[in-house]
């Protein structure tokens, strides 16, 4: 996404990237970036919370409208939770019940099997 934003900008189309991986997006050098300190995949707001999603979109459009220079980063004031402990929990297998680890492992194995079958069908494997 970052590279697409840079390409579009070079061709006269203003962009803003909304993301949750600040170090990666800033390293890629996007023109404008709205950082949400949320788990990956949730940069537009909390699931099933249209108010936070709407706030985030409005903020992104304001940043797009008002940024004064390249590589502008603005951090959303929204928080995932009050204590920030989600960062310790998010996808941390040491804090997951063994059943959840097994479920995720099985799900991942199924995805890998599907991908392998598609590669074999295409003659790539």
Q: Measure Cα distances from 124 to 108, 109, 115, 116, 118 in Å.
A: 21, 19, 11, 9, 9
Residues in contact with 54: Cβ distance below 8 Å, sequence separation at least 6, in sequence order? 45
Cα gap 123→66, rounded to integer Å? 50
Could you tell me the pTM of the whole model? Answer: 0.71
Please give the pLDDT value at position 70.
77
Answer for the pair 100, 107: CB distance below 8 angstroms, yes or no: no
Tens digit of each residue's pLDDT, the chain (125 residues): 888 999 999 999 999 999 998 999 999 989 999 999 998 889 998 899 999 999 999 999 999 999 887 799 999 999 998 887 778 877 788 888 999 999 999 999 999 999 999 999 998 86
Task: Tell me if 2 sits within 8 A of 25, measured CB to CB.
Answer: yes
Q: What is the DSSP letter of 21?
A: -
What is d(CA 8, CA 63) in angstroms, rounded to the nearest whole number? 17
Distance CA 108, CA 106 (A): 5
Q: How far apart are CA 65 and CA 118, in angstroms?
A: 44
CB count in 10 Å sphere of residue 18: 20
């Amino acid at each position: 996404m970052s590279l697409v934003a840079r390409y579009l900008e070079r061709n006269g189309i203003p962009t803003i990237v909304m993301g949750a991986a600040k170090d990666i997006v800033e390293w890629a050098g996007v023109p404008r970036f709205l950082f949400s300190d949320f788990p990956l995949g949730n940069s537009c707001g909390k699931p099933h919370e249209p108010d936070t999603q709407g706030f985030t979109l409005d903020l992104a459009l304001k940043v797009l409208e008002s940024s004064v220079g390249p590589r502008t980063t603005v951090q959303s004031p929204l928080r995932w939770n009050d204590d920030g402990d989600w960062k310790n929990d998010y996808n941390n297998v040491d804090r997951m019940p063994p059943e959840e680890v097994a479920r995720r492992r099985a799900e991942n194995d199924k995805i890998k099997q599907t991908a392998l079958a598609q590669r074999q069908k295409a003659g790539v494997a």
